[in-house]
Amino acid sequence: MIRPLLRGAAHRVLAALAVLLGAAGLAFAALQLIPGDPVAIILGPATQASAQVQAAIRAEYGLDRPVLGQFLHYLGRLATGDLGRSYQLQRQVVDLIGDQLGPTAELALAALVLAVAISVGSAIATAGRRRGLKAVASGWELLAVSSPPFWVGILLLTVFSFTLRWFPVSGAEDFSALVLPALTLALPVAGVLSQVLREGLEAALAEPFAVTARARGLSRTAVRARHALRHAAVPLVTLTGWLTGSLLGGAVLVETVFGRPGIGALTLQAVTNKDMPLVIGLVLLSALVFVVISTLVDLLYLVVDPRLRTR
């Protein structure tokens, strides 16, 4: 009993390591493909750094070595757990990511909870009901999915922060500062999830078991919440896992608009400046997040669908 479990876990860990190595290699290759001299990009166009200073920077980061040598050197250090130092920010990559991870995790989690709550609420309320109600629900979902988050963020700020003054504009100080950014990030995700969930609910409600449950005297809502929702939840779980990853990407815009610290803004800065150690550190982080989430999603399937537990 225990042994296959351990073997399964070891298999997962090995696969995860392979994913991480692949991600680091791809990120390194992609950075090599970005045109331009790394030192010139680090310094930017308006620099007065002399040729001597430029040479010092090149030597310090080993950028004068052949590309393969640079990569192997980096991997060697990575194997000892050293992510290196950001070229541009002059701080340890581990510290930078450690500082910025908390606010982003908080934002992504809040957005995820909000998105799932909104979509479950909206889908249960509207699936299989009157046509008008459904049209309204589809309408907001379409609007939420197609509105640029940047614009939604500024709109929410203008109404709830600048005019009504209910929430502060920015900062990660307290819960009230989290509401608007989380909502901005959650809305498009909630739009997609509601659509999928309602489809699933309607399919489940058309199944014979729904009629049987009604015949046993359950109310319409109880049938939806207890029986149909469970059936509809499998695609929802799959999508939620995938969308959590996309939340990290969406965080870039939301963090910019709301002036929040976080991984998104850090990633943008790292990529723009071709800051190799930082970019790879961040890529490794997101690869890790994806590995963890897909593991969680696999486990959640077992919870949601008893048919999968037999093996």
Partner 1 sequence: MRRRRATAESSLLSRRAAALVCGLAFVLSACGGANAGPGTTASAPVSGGELTVAVDSEPVSFDVHVSPQDITGEILRHVVDSLVSVDADGRFTPWLASSWDVAPDLKSYTFHLRDGVKFTDGTPFDAAAVKANFDRIANPATKSQLAASLLGPYAGTEVVDPRTAKVSFTAPFAPFLQGASTPYLGFYSPKTLADNADKLGGGGAVEVGTGPFTFTEYTKGQNLVLTRNADYNWAPTGAAHTGAAYLDKLTVRFLSEDSVRVGALTSGQVQVARAISPVDVKNLEADQSVGLLKNDVPGGNYNIYLNASKAPFDDPLVRKAIQRGIDLDQAVKTVYFGQYKRAWSPLSPSTTGYDATLENSWPHDAAEAAKLLDQAGWTGKDADGYRTKNGARLVVKWPVMPPPYLREQRDVLGQAIQADLKKLGVEVVRDQPDIGTYIKQVYGGQTDFTDYSWNRFEPDVLWLFFNSASQPGKGGQNATFTQDAELDQLTESARGSADPAARAGAYAKVQRRATVDLALGTRSTRR
Dihedral sign, CA of 283, 285, 288, 290?
negative
Strands (E) across 128-235 are located at none
Q: Is 206 in the site for partner 1 (CB under 8 A)?
A: no
List the end-to-end C-alpha distance of the chain, in Å, as a whole number. 12
Cα 265 from Cα 252, distance rounded (Å): 5
Please pick, from the candidates 23, 27, 96, 239, the single residue that binds partner 1 as defined by CB under 8 A: 96
Backbone φ and ψ for 36, nearest 5 degrees, come out as 105, 150
Q: Residue 188: which residues within 8 A CB-CB, separation 6 or more?
A: 144, 145, 147, 149, 152, 250
Binding flag, residue 154, partner 1 (CB under 8 A): yes
Q: Which two tokens stand for residue 55?
A: 């040479």
Binding mask 230-269 toward partner 1 (x if CB under 8 A, else -) reads: -------------------------xxxxxxxx--xx---
Q: Which of 61, 74, 88, 248: binder of partner 1 (CB under 8 A)?
A: 88
Nearer to partner 1, 36 or 132 (CB): 36
Least distance in Å: CB of 216 to partner 1? 55
Q: How far is the CB of 35 from partner 1 (least distance, A)?
A: 5
The binder of partner 1 chosen from 8, 22, 44, 121 (CB under 8 A): 44
Cα 11 to Cα 267: distance, rounded to the nearest angstrom? 30
35 binds partner 1 (CB under 8 A): yes
Least Å distance, CB 265 to partner 1, is 5
In the 8-state DSSP scheme, what is residue 151?
H
Please identify which residue in 37, 64, 207, 298 interacts with partner 1, judged by CB under 8 A.
37
What is the dihedral sign for C-alpha 161, 165, 170, 172?
negative
How distant, in Å, are the alpha carbons of 43, 49, 262, 308 from that of 245? 32, 39, 15, 25
* Contact status: 93 vs partner 1 (CB under 8 A): no
Residue 292's contacts (CB-CB under 8 Å, 6 or more residues apart) are none
33 binds partner 1 (CB under 8 A): no
Q: Which of 10, 18, 30, 56 binds partner 1 (CB under 8 A)?
A: 56
99 scored as a contact of partner 1 (CB under 8 A): yes
Query: What percent helix, strand, coil does the chain show, rounded to 5?
Result: 80, 0, 20
CB nearer to partner 1: pick between 71 and 258: 258
45 versus 217: smaller Cβ distance to partner 1? 45
* 175 binds partner 1 per the rule CB under 8 A: no
Query: Rule CB under 8 A: is residue 64 a binding residue for partner 1?
Result: no
Query: Which stretches of the chain bind partner 1, using CB under 8 A?
Result: 34-37, 40-41, 43-54, 56-57, 88-91, 96, 99-100, 103, 154, 157-158, 161-163, 165, 168-172, 255-262, 265-266, 272, 274
